[in-house]
Amino acid sequence: MNAKPQKPVMEGSNKEVSRPFCGIIMPIATMGQYEKSHWDRVRIILDEAIEDAGYSPRLVSESEDIGVIHARIVQNLYDDPIVVCDVSGKNANVMFELGLRLAFDKPTIVIKDDLTDYSFDTSPIEHINYRADLRFDDVREFKKKVFAAIKGSIAKKDEDNTYSPFLGHFGKFKVSGLETKTVSSEQFIMEQLAELRGELAQISRRISGDEASSASKLIFAKVNGDLRRKVSNQVTEELLKSLADGIRIQTTAPLSLSRSDDDGTF
């Protein structure tokens, strides 16, 4: 499965050039001795190194598609031709996502700061170290190392399609691919509506009993209203998009989410 191309970027004489994605796995929120602003600075450094290497940086949780965030993360971890992972602080989510990427056995660059010890499971992988205080001279050298690692890893993969950056050190393994299903815009809309309807029904059943507090009912009413508006906007956008693409959509009945007064379901 090939990685999805990045948005075209403009170069030189207004020529559009598509760049492949480079996924980033890293903490993004305050954690222990690390403030959120620290991770913001690290992200800027990584973005610059990745762009210099000819790739478009993004967190593996980022996507233009609307969908379940966990599915999006797994898909990006599988699709992205190269991933850079910062294990500084040993954030649990970061380590989990790194494990998934290594299981896919695709090129991965692991980095960490000088305050973080090596983890036993990932110690066989070469790490690129950087100073936690992000001293200017060290940052310049660090960016060069990340740039070289990206270029080198991709070159090895291009030269040898059987190149195994991780699993090959432990034996012969065959990594299964992820199934990709193509659906029409109408089918996508109906599936999204069905999921939202099921979620709202579960919420309704949980708070519809006599013991439900007035506060819970108010919360439900707000969530219900917000989701109705969201679904309405999404349906409108998708239908207009389909029409613009020349797809004829015949609507036999209006799409709506209504609550039954009898059992509290939709």
Asked whether residue 178 is domain-assigned, the answer is no
| Residue 27's CATH number | 3.40.50.450
0.75 exceeded by pTM: no
Report the percentage of the chain scoring pLDDT > 90.
40
| For residue 183, pLDDT beyond 60 | no
Shared domain check, 227 and 147: no
Shared domain check, 213 and 143: no
Shared domain check, 240 and 156: no
pLDDT for 15: 55
Distance CA 91, CA 73 (A): 16
Shared domain check, 76 and 108: yes
Distance CA 184, CA 205 (A): 32
Shared domain check, 210 and 139: no
Shared domain check, 189 and 165: no
Q: What are phi and psi of 189, to 5 degrees?
A: -60, -45
Where helices occur in the chain by DSSP H, the ranges are 36-52, 69-79, 92-104, 136-159, 185-207, 214-244
Shared domain check, 97 and 37: yes
The residues, ordered by sequence, that sit 6+ positions from 76 with a Cβ below 8 Å of its Cβ are: 21, 23, 58, 60, 61, 62, 63
Shared domain check, 156 and 121: yes
Shared domain check, 38 and 127: yes
Nearest CA-CA partner of 56 in 82, 38, 93: 82
Count up the domains in the chain and report the number.
2
Asked whether residue 125 is domain-assigned, the answer is yes
Is the model more confident about 150 or about 211?
150
Mean pLDDT score, 67-94? 90
Q: What are phi and psi of 265, to 5 degrees?
A: -100, 175
- Segments forming the whole domain that contains residue 237: 185-248
Nearest CA-CA partner of 72 in 57, 59, 61: 61
Beta bridge partners of 58: 23
Shared domain check, 201 and 143: no
**Which tens digit of pLDDT belongs to each residue from 200-253?**
677 666 666 555 556 556 665 666 666 666 655 665 566 556 555 554 444 444
Asked whether residue 260 is domain-assigned, the answer is no
Question: In the block, which residue shows the tokens 């602080």?
Answer: 89
Asked whether residue 88 is domain-assigned, the answer is yes
Q: Are 3 and 21 in contact (CB under 8 A)?
A: yes
pLDDT for 71: 82
* Mean pLDDT taken over the chain: 76
